Structure 1
Amino acid sequence: MKRVKCPKCDNYITFDETKYQAGQSLVFECPYCSKQFGIRIGASKLRATQKEENPDEHANENGYGSIVVIENVFHYKQVLPLSLGDNVIGRYMKGSGVNTPIETNDPSIDINHCVLTVRHDKHGRLQYILRDGPSYTGTFVDNEILGDRERRVIEDGCLFTIGATSIILRAAESE
């Protein structure tokens, strides 16, 4: 089941997306305010724009893991691949330089909110190090806020929070 937000009254309308094909247009009438509006099923225009801007950054052939952005009232679930080096995580804005952008309306996420560095440790295994941007609302790992210059090593399944958004690290498969 998917939800769409009425552009007039901000109430949600739920529908079964499996009954429709990608590219199909739907028209809804809000039961709360009677506003009629349309949507198109399939990939968002914003995601297509991001791929045009950075086509090589959205491929995960290198296998450095990913982050899973948990769906909430500000955005849908997103899986974003990570690359070796610094992955700057923040709210998507065209031309911002963020290489791991989240499509969101969450006002508590900064454009450059935090950085997740992927590197090899001295044994050759991948290591994930999280630090705050610095951001206005902070970055939390296990409900503890990261200090201004603190770096925290995180592992597969670790939950961290930026603004009102929760994110889970999915580490690359070990060989």
Structure 2
Amino acid sequence: MKRVRCPKCDNYVTFDETKYQVGQSLVFECPECGKNFGIRIGMSKLRNIQKEEVLDEHVNENGYGAIVVIENVFHYKQVIPLKMGNNVIGRYMKGSNINCPIETNDPSIDMTHCIINVSRKRDGKIQYVICDGPSYTGTFVDNEILKNKERRVIKDGCLFTIGATSIILRATEE
């Protein structure tokens, strides 16, 4: 089942996407406000990049892990692969320079909210370090807000929150 949001009142309308083909246009009438609006069935350009399925149980094809954006009222679950170096996390906007965009309409997520740096330590193990963007609402790691310019090492399963969105780190297994 898929949900679409009414552009007038933000109410969700649920439908079974398996009954329709990619490229097919659908028209809905919002049960709350009566607004008629249409959508086209298919994948967004951003979804093609992000690979919605779980990536080989927590690890992407490069072996650097992924972040799992937990579904909430603003968006669906997303799995975003990480790369070596700085992974800039923020709200998706066309033309932005972030490399880990979250497809959401959560107004409390900045366009560059936080950064996860993926690097190798001297012993060859991968290390994940998170820091705030800086952002207006802050970045919380295990329910503690990161201070200005604070960097924190995070590990597999670490829960961090940006705006109203919770994210789990799925580190590579070495």
Same fold, TM exceeding 0.5? yes
* CA distance in structure 1 between the aligned counterparts of 2:62 and 2:136, rounded to whole angstroms: 32
Deviates more, 1:32-41 or 1:142-151: 32-41
Counterpart of 1:95? 95
SS in structure 1 of the partner of residue 153 of structure 2: strand
Q: CA deviation at 1:30?
A: 1.2
- Give yes or no for the alignment of 1:155 onto 2:155: yes
Give the partner amino acid of 1:96. S
Instruction: Give the fraction of aligned pairs with identical amino acids, expressed as a percent.
Output: 76
Note the residue ranges of structure 1 that are not aligned, 5 or more in a row.
52-59
**1:40-79 counterparts in 2 under 5 A?**
40-47=40-47, 60-79=60-79
* CA distance in structure 2 between the aligned counterparts of 1:169 and 1:20, rounded to whole angstroms: 34
Counterpart of 1:33? 33
> Alignment length, in residue pairs?
165
* CA distance in structure 2 between the aligned counterparts of 1:25 and 1:170, rounded to whole angstroms: 36
Q: CA deviation at 1:95?
A: 2.9
* CA distance in structure 1 between the aligned counterparts of 2:46 and 2:62, rounded to whole angstroms: 24
Q: CA deviation at 1:47?
A: 4.6
SS in structure 2 of the partner of residue 115 of structure 1: strand
Give the partner amino acid of 1:20. Y
Per-residue Cα deviation, 1:65-109 (whole angstroms, up to 9, x for no partner): 111111222222211110001101111223321111111111111
Measured on the aligned residues, the alpha-carbon RMSD in Å equals 1.8
Per-residue Cα deviation, 1:98-125 (whole angstroms, up to 9, x for no partner): 1111111111111111100111122211
Deviates more, 1:159-168 or 1:19-28: 19-28
Q: CA deviation at 1:141?
A: 0.8
Counterpart of 2:55? none
Counterpart of 1:16? 16
* CA distance in structure 1 between the aligned counterparts of 2:94 and 2:102, rounded to whole angstroms: 12
* CA distance in structure 2 between the aligned counterparts of 1:112 and 1:27, rounded to whole angstroms: 34
SS in structure 1 of the partner of residue 34 of structure 2: coil
